[in-house]
Amino acid sequence: MGQHHLKPLFSPKSVAVFGASDRVDSVGQIVFQNMLQGGYKGALYPINPNHAEVQGCKSYPSIAEIIYPVELAVIATPAESVPDIIEQCGKHNVKAAIIITAGFGETGSAGKLLELAVLEIAHRYGIRLIGPNCLGVMRPEIGLNATFNHGNAISGNLAFVSQSGALCTAILDWAKSSDVGFSSVISMGSSLDVDFGEILDYLISDTKTQSILLYIEGIRDARSFMSAIRAAARVKPVILVKV
């Protein structure tokens, strides 16, 4: 079996964090701190044009200054900056991006236009997206904590996929006190690109995942979802909560 097309999202060899910061309790500060403290073994690059160093690591003014390949971009910058960042990522051959930033379709017509711009650029370069307006992604086994949650999840065999970042935070708080571990915690946010169907397809082949929990507010591609959930349920227990 070949490499799954979502592997750069969930098992990247290198990560660039746009908006990485030293400003205490800012999203960029928490995300980059989580990546440092989570035990991630891949290459990690903070991108901040205003600082030469972030949290003790050399910072880069743009992704163009990084001479090495970057598989995953984690974006925690203002919404209006995201289309240009996705363009930069495309030119640097980045394969995937997690857009944590809010301020898109949920804010009205101007935000929807931003979403369309981001999606057009991503499609042009073949970049796959999680988000925007999401908590991020955790993969505890590989030390990937690309979220602004305070702290990491325990490593385990349950994959939790949710459209609600607030629910992810609540579940993570409960799970830590109850000693429940996760293979993945995936906050999808607005699901601009990657949806439940593709994530389920990835989790089917993920050897670390033994069961799957889904929290669903809405489904964009019902046919893809039904096909994927039937395939997943044949090999792993799947619990679905629809609100």
- Residue found under tokens 């370069």: 125
Where in the chain is CATH 3.40.50.261? Answer: 136-242
pLDDT tens, per residue, the chain with 243 residues? 578 999 999 999 999 999 999 999 999 999 999 999 999 999 999 999 999 999 999 999 999 999 999 999 999 999 999 999 999 999 999 999 999 999 998 999 999 999 999 999 999 999 999 999 999 999 999 999 999 999 899 999 999 999 999 999 999 999 999 999 999 999 999 999 999 999 999 999 999 999 999 999 988 888 989 999 999 999 999 999 988
pTM to 2 decimal places: 0.96
Distance CA 239, CA 167 (A): 16
What is the residue type of 32?
Answer: F
Q: For domain 136-242, give the CATH number.
A: 3.40.50.261
CATH superfamily of 7-130: NAD(P)-binding Rossmann-like Domain (3.40.50.720)
Distance CA 180, CA 54 (A): 33
Are 231 and 202 in contact by the 8 Å Cβ rule? The answer is no
In sequence order, the β-bridge partners of residue 232 are none
Where in the chain is CATH 3.40.50.720? Answer: 7-130
Distance CA 14, CA 70 (A): 5
Distance CA 17, CA 125 (A): 19
pLDDT given for residue 243 in this prediction: 83
